Amino acid sequence: MSRASQSALERYVSRRGGDPDRLRPHSGDPGGSQAPSSGRNRPWSLLAVLIPALLLGLTVWGLYPRTSHPLDLTYEVDLGAAPRGILTITMIAEGKLPDELDLEFAPGVYAETRDGVEVHTPEAFLLLEDGSRGRALPLSPTPDGWRLHASGASRVGVSYRIDLTLAPGMEQDVRMHITAPVNGGLRAAGYEIFLEPVGRPTGTLTVAVHNPGNLPFLVPWPALVDRNLAAAAVADSARDPVGPASIAPGLPGFRPETSTADGRGGQGPRLPDTHPVAASLLYHPRDLADLNNALLVCGDIRTAASQARDTVIRFATDRQWYFPVDLAVDLVRRIARTEIGFFGDAPTRQITVMLAANTVTAEGGFDCYGLHTGSSVLVMLHPETTWEQFTGNVASVIAHEMFHGWLGEAIPQTDPQTLWFTEGATTWYAARMLTAAGVWTPEYAREVLQGRLARDYAGNPLMGRMPIATAASEVMASAGQVRFAYAGGVAACMALDQHLAAATGMMRPLDEVLRYLYTERAGAPFDRHALQAAILTVTGVDCAGWLDAHVYGHSPLAPLDRLI
């Protein structure tokens, strides 16, 4: 079991075999324990407080030593009280259980605090052959979850409730707002709501959703079936758990509503009708990472969907906006198709973008926040955002978070010393993707990038005093350090691309490095060694000395002349 005092990031690195002590700020590091604050409408700095839970907490499971006895897991999610902000979940574990079984949530918010999402003490019980509840089983708390005393049982259930009614509004840490009530229901990150057995391999994974109120319901997998098709779904999942054959007529539908162009009433474009709402659904995540990399949303939501190659692109919102929703749907589709085209395909069969109101009311907060959980992107924006603000600011957040589906998820971030690359490259490529998609003009993209580089890198007092990699590794540092880390990461990625181009004659060598990391190393831990090895393989250039000087050292980068 991990130490209770470890942060989510420390637990993550420890479970990956790293040294969590490296993550603790030294006494000489400026701003190491301060929470960031910033001005508003900044296309890349608004992610300052997101990285720990989002990049490092959501792709983490499968981290414990394996045994030879896998457990089949079924999670029954009851939406009956969802309109009141309450979820009831029952985890059913079947197989050869040990006498004692530890249960934990994946590292994330729960590793640091339970404020905002209240989990009621679970109860455990035997399950009899007919599925009925048997005698109660002892369940004792541990620093990171609970210990089930199973006494060698072969089938047990653990039932618990998650109460979201106490979600704080003044809490500045945006991670505290991922799982929260929404209009008519709630949204929940998978890593915050699913208890999992520690130290045991998993066999079949099933999520059964009971939806007695026929609430519109959204999950990030297209392979959803109703109970009438359960047998077919099980058979199909054995062949291809996320393949097209799993998409059945029982796909959940959503009550279409009218959106308005000005938010003040009147008829506007309608989102298309979809299938009827299913009262009970089943889906089969591929593994525990799939289970955790999920954003489940139910309530008064409206959706639209399109297709890019084999990937479903789904848009959802729970409210009306001051801009036409169909324009936002088209923008999301264009960004997704551009990023899929860059890499050649998507790491998941569905990409979901959810627009919601920004509920962070802390002083110094942002107008817009972006978060990603696997293939799901949650964007919380000011309710009065205009279309001009959406295309100029919110679009960059969507492109950034969506790009993390490849760099950060499929290419999993494990070492905080390479956060400069994960965030810097994602920010730079987001601007390039928006330009390629026709959302931004090249002139506007250059203006945005030049402005941020001048203010947050070249004009930052930390330049030459703190290495870019060090600044980026301290994800909850002061506002000035966070801005320096993001801008420095962007500058370093641009400069590295130009350095490699000068050495090889390649047009955009870093593009090929990213594609190589995705196609050849997807799923493998990403650290400095992996980056250097990929660059050497793709370009033949040993960049260790350049990185030592400009990223891990104090040598400033020369002014850049090629931004887009």
Indicate whether 51 pLDDT > 60: no
411 plus 400 within the same structural domain: no
281 plus 194 within the same structural domain: yes
pLDDT of residue 173: 66
In a domain, 37, yes or no: no
Q: How confident is the model at residue 303 (pLDDT cuts 50, 70, 90)?
A: confident
Q: How confident is the model at residue 151 (pLDDT cuts 50, 70, 90)?
A: confident
Across 31-59, average pLDDT: 36
In a domain, 57, yes or no: no
The two three-digit tokens of residue 48, written as one number: 């300052």
pLDDT of residue 564: 84
Domain boundary among 405, 424, 455: 405
**Choice between 442 and 110, residue whose per-residue pLDDT is larger:** 442
387 plus 487 within the same structural domain: no
Q: What is the largest CA-CA distance in the chain?
A: 71
Supply the DSSP symbol for 454.
I
Q: How confident is the model at residue 476 (pLDDT cuts 50, 70, 90)?
A: low
Q: How confident is the model at residue 27 (pLDDT cuts 50, 70, 90)?
A: very low
The two three-digit tokens of residue 15, written as one number: 């479970």
pLDDT tens digit string along 157-201? 999 998 887 655 555 666 677 888 888 999 998 888 999 998 889
In a domain, 489, yes or no: yes
Q: How confident is the model at residue 13 (pLDDT cuts 50, 70, 90)?
A: very low
pLDDT of residue 360: 77
365 plus 474 within the same structural domain: no
**Choice between 139 and 359, residue whose per-residue pLDDT is larger:** 139
pLDDT tens digit string along 404-447? 999 998 998 888 999 999 999 999 999 999 999 999 999 999 99
**Choice between 230 and 381, residue whose per-residue pLDDT is larger:** 381
Q: For the chain, give the percent of residues with pLDDT over 90.
A: 45
CATH of the domain at 439: 1.10.390.10
- Among 31-40, 136-145, 542-551, top mean pLDDT goes to 542-551
Domain count, the chain: 2
pLDDT of residue 171: 59
Rounded Cα distance between 508 and 516, Å, is: 13
Domain boundary among 405, 430, 453: 405
**Choice between 347 and 243, residue whose per-residue pLDDT is larger:** 347
Rounded Cα distance between 475 and 49, Å, is: 7
258 plus 392 within the same structural domain: yes
101 plus 122 within the same structural domain: yes
3-state secondary structure at position 97: coil
pLDDT of residue 214: 86
Rounded Cα distance between 117 and 167, Å, is: 6
In a domain, 17, yes or no: no
pLDDT tens digit string along 123-143? 999 998 888 899 999 999 988
Indicate whether 249 pLDDT > 80: no
Single pTM value for the model: 0.77
In a domain, 44, yes or no: no
pLDDT of residue 86: 92
Q: How confident is the model at residue 343 (pLDDT cuts 50, 70, 90)?
A: very high
131 plus 151 within the same structural domain: yes
Indicate whether 235 pLDDT > 80: no
In a domain, 65, yes or no: no
CATH of the domain at 216: 2.60.40.3650
Cβ(187)–Cβ(356) below 8 Å: yes
pLDDT of residue 170: 52
pLDDT of residue 283: 81
Least confident interval from 204-213, 259-268, 350-359, 360-369? 259-268
Mean pLDDT estimate for the chain: 77
Indicate whether 280 pLDDT > 70: no
**Choice between 120 and 555, residue whose per-residue pLDDT is larger:** 555
Angle separating helix axes 479-504 and 509-521, nearest 10 degrees: 100
Across 9-26, average pLDDT: 37
Across 232-257, average pLDDT: 33
399 plus 431 within the same structural domain: no
pLDDT tens digit string along 479-500? 889 899 999 999 999 999 999 9
396 plus 414 within the same structural domain: no
Rounded Cα distance between 303 and 300, Å, is: 10
CA 318 vs CA 37, 39, 244, 303, 326: distances in Å: 27, 26, 27, 9, 14
pLDDT of residue 238: 40
pLDDT of residue 447: 94
Q: How confident is the model at residue 88 (pLDDT cuts 50, 70, 90)?
A: very high
Domain boundary among 365, 387, 405: 405
In a domain, 78, yes or no: yes
Q: How confident is the model at residue 233 (pLDDT cuts 50, 70, 90)?
A: very low
321 plus 410 within the same structural domain: no
DSSP codes, 189-222: EHHHH--EESS--EEEEEEEEE-TT---EE-S-S
HSE of 375 in the Cβ direction (CA atoms, 13 Å)?
23
Q: Could you list the residue range(s) of the whole structural domain that residue 430 is in?
A: 406-564
Supply the DSSP symbol for 287.
S
140 plus 249 within the same structural domain: yes
Q: How confident is the model at residue 50 (pLDDT cuts 50, 70, 90)?
A: very low
Rounded Cα distance between 331 and 362, Å, is: 30
In a domain, 52, yes or no: no
Across 357-374, average pLDDT: 79
114 plus 82 within the same structural domain: yes
